[in-house]
A and B are shown apart, each in its own frame.
Chain A
């Protein structure tokens, strides 16, 4: 494992033509690091993930991505009526390594089985993807990224809609994968969770702050990030109420 950063951004601005959707981004992601992307809806989290995936080019600044990146999108956006099993979905990760005239074969399915075992879903490999629970679907998509041999996992609000047990399971998996040297970027709304990770990046159309959670996450930063929609909870905790937030 080298000390070289997997991802490094300096003064980055990205958008969809016109004004940048998010700007002034400077951060690095090391191997084994869990980075939380915090910010309101529309704050630029998904835009930044798309830039890292290479779908959007920097408008200004620089973005260096030195690792293969796997996308773990929200599963509500994938098609639940699609006629595929968990194993079929995990196998899709092998396409990036195959020439266009080759279709996934026995070896690729074996790799997919191994990845499903890694995320604890070996016994559900034959189930229809759309019939799995939200947490299980999320883990199938992680398995797909592992089959892809992705060094960096980009997760877009993976905890949305999960119950407590499923969320804990997923968090344990993320910790284990980080322990194996994966860099993991997680867009999230859960502040308490973000505090347990290695670093945070607060976005609200521009970078508000970046660094270790205990240094960065103070009241001023949170207010600037969420525009004041912060609720004090008796006992010292804080909760954030972004619009359309479905965390349970």
Chain B
């Protein structure tokens, strides 16, 4: 049980997985409630060329991922303004183009060996700057999400009435997408291009099965994210499986576990007041 903790490398990996699980779980609740899972997946894939370029130039991956995600978001925004281009078509075109560009770059003779780690991540070997970035992400989310909470909740609940409540759904969407993009850029180091979306969708979907209140849902999702990160690394340590994929499997296992638990919860008989107050 404590054996992996003796190992300096494992301690660092566990810290990285726990930080990303915490961030992914909490932010993921809003991703799921705002039905942005597809957007999250797309944003994650579109950073690939940026990652490859950074690897070729020997720069920190963050420096490649950030401009790539900004470029993709801009391209999607511009493309969907063209008449006859719907949102999902625009997203699909941009993402496949970006990903294809990344593959071309990755297959070029200049690209260093080990590019596949950009696809699947390297949760087992985070650098100091990766750990700092993950901790910074947690700090930013811990400040931003409570601040935005009431507005995210209100605009997600009833978009049509948001302006009447003095809210701008567009600005709230934009704030959420910027946080999501930042989180993806940080988390892609650990989970790679293909698996990173799991940490934003899985723990939140699990928590949704277990609670019908937003506060507990966010707390449960954060705990689930950390738990999945740690459990996945233990699996990886003892079974010798790939780190990121093991975490993704742990996320899936927790989700499957939450299904019968959620059924149980909703089947519980409810105490309901029979009479309502009279209106005068």
A residues with CB within 8 A of B: 53-55, 69-71, 73, 77-79, 82-85, 88-89, 91-93, 95-98, 100-101, 103-104, 117, 119-124, 127-128, 131, 136, 148, 154, 169, 172-173, 176
Of B150, B160, B164, B213, the residue contacting A70 (CB under 8 A) is B164
Q: Give the shortest distance, in Å, between A183 (CB) and chain B (any CB).
A: 15
> How many Å lie between the Cα of A136 and that of B146 in the bound state?
29
A121 touches B277 (CB 8 A): yes
Bound CA span A85–B217, Å: 13
Q: Taking A93-B165, A121-B277 as contacts, is the C-beta distance between A83 and B213 under 8 angstroms? A: yes
Known: A70-B164, A92-B150. A83 touches B277 (CB 8 A): no
Closest chain B residue, CB of each to CB of A93:
B165
Which of A78, A119, A124 is the one whose CB lies under 8 Å from B279? A119
- A121 and B280 CA atoms in complex are apart in Å by 13
Cα(A104)–Cα(B165), bound, Å: 13
Q: What would be 11 A-B contacts, judged by CB atoms less than 8 Å apart?
A: A53-B164, A71-B165, A77-B160, A84-B153, A88-B153, A117-B277, A120-B277, A120-B278, A123-B273, A124-B276, A131-B270
Given contacts A83-B214, A120-B276, A169-B279, contact A148 B158 (CB under 8 A): no
* Distance, CA A122 to CA B275, complexed state (A): 11
Q: How many A-B residue pairs have CB under 8 A?
A: 93
A-facing mask of B116-151, CB < 8 A → 1, else 0?
A: 000000000000000000000000000000110111
Within 8 A of A (CB), among B139-195: 146-147, 149-151, 153-154, 156-158, 160-161, 163-167
Please list the residues of chain B having a beta carbon within 8 angstroms of any beta carbon in chain A.
Answer: 33, 146-147, 149-151, 153-154, 156-158, 160-161, 163-167, 208, 211-214, 217, 270, 272-273, 276-280
Q: Smallest distance from the beta carbon of B54 to chain A beta carbons, Å?
A: 35
CA–CA, A101 to B146, complex, Å? 10
Given contacts A71-B164, A96-B165, 20 further A-B contacts (CB under 8 A): A54-B163, A55-B163, A73-B161, A79-B156, A82-B33, A82-B156, A83-B208, A83-B211, A83-B214, A88-B214, A91-B150, A92-B157, A93-B165, A95-B154, A103-B147, A120-B276, A124-B276, A128-B212, A148-B164, A176-B280
Indicate if the CB atoms of A69 and B276 lie closer than 8 Å: no
A95-B147 in contact given A85-B213, A88-B153, A172-B279 (Cβ < 8 Å): no
- B167 neighbours in A (Cβ, 8 Å): 95-96
> Separation in Å of the B77 CB from the closest CB of chain A?
20
A95 touches B166 (CB 8 A): yes
Q: How far is the CA of A121 from the CA of B147 in the complex (A)?
A: 29
A22→B100 CA distance, assembly (Å):
48
